[in-house]
Amino acid sequence: MIIYYSAEILGQRRSSRKLAMHMRSCRMMRSDLYTTNMGRLDLKDFSNPFDLFESLFEGMGGMGGMGMGGRSSRNRAVDGQDEYYSLVLNFKDAVFGVEKEIEITRLESCGTCNGSGAKPGTTPSKCTTCGGQGQVISSARTPLGVFQQVMTCSSCGGTGEISTPCNTCSGDGRVRRTKRISLKVPAGVDSGSRLRVRSEGNAGRRGGSAGDLFVVIEVIPDPVLKRDDTNVLYTCKVSYIDAILGTTINVPTVDGMVDLKIPAGTQPNTTLVMAKKGVPVLNKTNMRGDQLVRVQVEIPKRLSSEEKKLIEELADLSKGKTASSRR
Ligand SMILES: [Zn+2]
Ligand SMILES: [Zn+2]
């Protein structure tokens, strides 16, 4: 980002507040231009245009808090980009955690040139286009004054040096390589969880630090156990007789088959809680969610004649009960 202000304003020596406002509006224009009323100032004294700005602004409140961003681009280190890897896990592995070997492809520092990008045995020479400055300045005369445009030198890419490119990495200083990484996936991850492996992303350039590796988790759903954050949802069916009299059923959980007591008189759509049979809380493995079991009560559509007879007897009994209670 390069900022401009016009020669006119410098000449008038406006207050620093007004100047700051003006510069802010210039920045909003995202201009790559800046202008100077150079006169007595020699650009060569400054290795980058911000030095020039800062000296001009001294005594005017300075540049503090104006968000000028980075300084010299010459030979600057460039940090490597983050790398992403999509990891598909089965339901149980996501619940309890798992150790996985993954193979990632990313940019690593070139061993031939030690990351410099220059062919070994050659010495870089000063860039003749920019004179080793890494930047070139072009001028344009406009009604507002002389506009100076500072651009990164295209001959040397801003380094100020021209070197014979390394044959292995074609001058980038980095090569694409595959690496196997052993990954410990913690218990409790879910679809969309991201694991960060520091400094295992792409290598930086010119001494910049490496990016991080982000492992993005995708979990294959289980056909019967549904996950709701740290809880597991399950639906069971019991007969109306079992719902009335109570029973014990065997239900699947992440820990395997477990007995569940259906109390006598369980109403349809009751949710029974199987405490701590859910998913461990991520990074708090001693804490676990619950398994929530929704009870569906099945009413038979057809009855045998004997069953019908007994149900009718039951009906008479309950009518009698109602009659006697009315008396
Ligand atoms: Zn150059
Ligand atoms: Zn190389």
Per residue in 7-54, pLDDT tens?
A: 333 333 444 554 455 445 444 443 333 333 333 333 344 444 444 444
pLDDT computed for residue 243 by the predictor: 98
Take residue 224 and report the two structure tokens written for it: 């019967």
pLDDT computed for residue 219 by the predictor: 97
Take residue 226 and report the two structure tokens written for it: 């549904």
Residues in the chain with pLDDT values less than 70? 1-76, 322-327
pLDDT computed for residue 54 by the predictor: 41
Task: List all residues 6 or more positions away from 214 whose beta carbon is below 8 Å from its beta carbon.
Answer: 82, 83, 84, 85, 194, 195, 196, 197, 201
Q: How much distance in Å is there from the Cα of 238 to the middle of ligand 1?
A: 80
Question: H/E element holding 134?
Answer: none
pLDDT computed for residue 285 by the predictor: 79
pLDDT computed for residue 139 by the predictor: 83
Q: Please give the order of strands across the beta sheet that includes 231-239.
A: 226-228, 231-239, 291-298, 271-274
Picking from 290, 171, 168, 169, the residue whose alpha carbon sits closest to that of residue 234 is: 290
- Please report which ligand is nearest the Cα atom of 112: 2
* 3.40.50.1370, 2.60.260.20, 3.20.20.70, 3.40.50.280: CATH of 222-327: 2.60.260.20
Q: How much distance in Å is there from the Cα of 136 to the middle of ligand 1?
A: 8
Q: Which residues surround ligand 1, an ion (CB under 5 A)?
A: 127, 129-130, 153, 155-156
Rounded distance between C-alpha atoms, residue 33 and residue 53, angstroms: 13
Where along the chain do the CATH 2.60.260.20 domains lie?
A: 83-124+163-219, 222-327
pLDDT computed for residue 25 by the predictor: 47
pLDDT computed for residue 73 by the predictor: 44
pTM score: 0.65
pLDDT computed for residue 141 by the predictor: 84
Rounded distance between C-alpha atoms, residue 149 and residue 124, angstroms: 27
Q: How much distance in Å is there from the Cα of 214 to the middle of ligand 2?
A: 26
pLDDT per residue as tens digits for the range 284-308: 979 999 999 999 999 999 999 999 9
CB atoms within 10 A of CB 240: 12
Rounded distance between C-alpha atoms, residue 288 and residue 189, angstroms: 13
pLDDT computed for residue 207 by the predictor: 87
Q: How much distance in Å is there from the Cα of 74 to the middle of ligand 1?
A: 9
pLDDT computed for residue 75 by the predictor: 59
Q: Please give the order of strands across the beta sheet that includes 145-152.
A: 33-35, 145-152, 135-142
- Supply the CATH classification number for the domain 83-124+163-219: 2.60.260.20
Q: How much distance in Å is there from the Cα of 66 to the middle of ligand 1?
A: 29
Burial level of 160, CB count in 10 A (0-12/13-18/19+)?
A: buried
- Please report which ligand is nearest the Cα atom of 111: 2
